[in-house]
Amino acid sequence: MRRLVCAAGVAAFFLAALPACRPDQIQHLKDSKRIGIEAENWVVKRIMPADLLHATRWAGDSLTLSADRELHRLLAERLAQGGVAAALPYCRPETYASTDSLAHVLKATAQRVSNKPRNPQHQPATQLVASQNDTMRNIARPSAEVFTYQRPIVLDDALCLRCHGEVGKDIAAADYALIKKAYPTDQAIGYQRGAVVGAWQVRFARNGVAEFYTMKTRKVPKPHKLF
């Protein structure tokens, strides 16, 4: 008899609690779309070889175009402040702290090469094929753990002619004397605007490319709008 009374009491308790669970009283989770996107981003996804090649292009463009923008900014400032003498030491974007920092994140090593180098260290291992198409990219995977990227360097800024144009026309004789003093074997002159003067070459580790692909394709939720 006692068991029946207890069972009846439990049943009565649950029946009394049922009205508290009406659908109109359910509290929905806020920002469920954003949480769903973030949860999806944490799912391990298989990255295909073609995806890694695309990521190599993206990463190469990100690194080299960022370095070129910084180069143009610094050269404009230094030329305005002190002419070629002040600008000459800064024409090395591959050594900038910002370039090195991004290369570290991407697990990359970057260098500039030219068939007519100013610095002998910029001599390419093999002869570069000249191309007037500055959108041309050469992406390769020479081994399972290494990806390579190359794109032309186009002389697209008139300021560059002050160091790479024609001596006596674009380059003052006194300025070229400074260039020759710093680089006795200089060949990087005689160019016109729009000419290809060399190439960026970047070498990436596979895990750096894979991480960049993950970041590039990660879904970013839109800011929540309150009305």
Report the predicted TM-score, pTM, of the whole model to 2 decimal places.
0.75
Q: Is the pLDDT of residue 14 over 50?
A: no
Q: Is the pLDDT of residue 222 over 90?
A: no
Contacts of 83 (CB under 8 A, 6+ apart): 175
Higher pLDDT pick, 54 / 31: 54
Interval 161-173: pLDDT, tens: 999 999 999 999 9
For the residues 163-191, what does the mean pLDDT come to? 96
Interval 113-138: pLDDT, tens: 999 999 999 998 777 766 555 668 99
What's the pLDDT score for residue 103?
96
Higher pLDDT pick, 26 / 162: 162
What's the pLDDT score for residue 215?
85
What's the pLDDT score for residue 26?
47
What's the pLDDT score for residue 46?
76
Share of the chain above pLDDT 70, in %: 73
| Structure confidence at residue 225 as a pLDDT band (50, 70, 90) | low
For the residues 11-35, what does the mean pLDDT come to? 50
What mean pLDDT, rounded, does the chain reach? 82
What's the pLDDT score for residue 55?
94
C-beta atoms surrounding 165 within 10 Å: 19
| Structure confidence at residue 42 as a pLDDT band (50, 70, 90) | very low
Q: Is the pLDDT of residue 111 over 60?
A: yes
Query: Measured over all CA atoms, what is the biggest interatomic distance in the chain, rounded to whole angstroms?
Result: 116
CA distance 167 to 176: 7
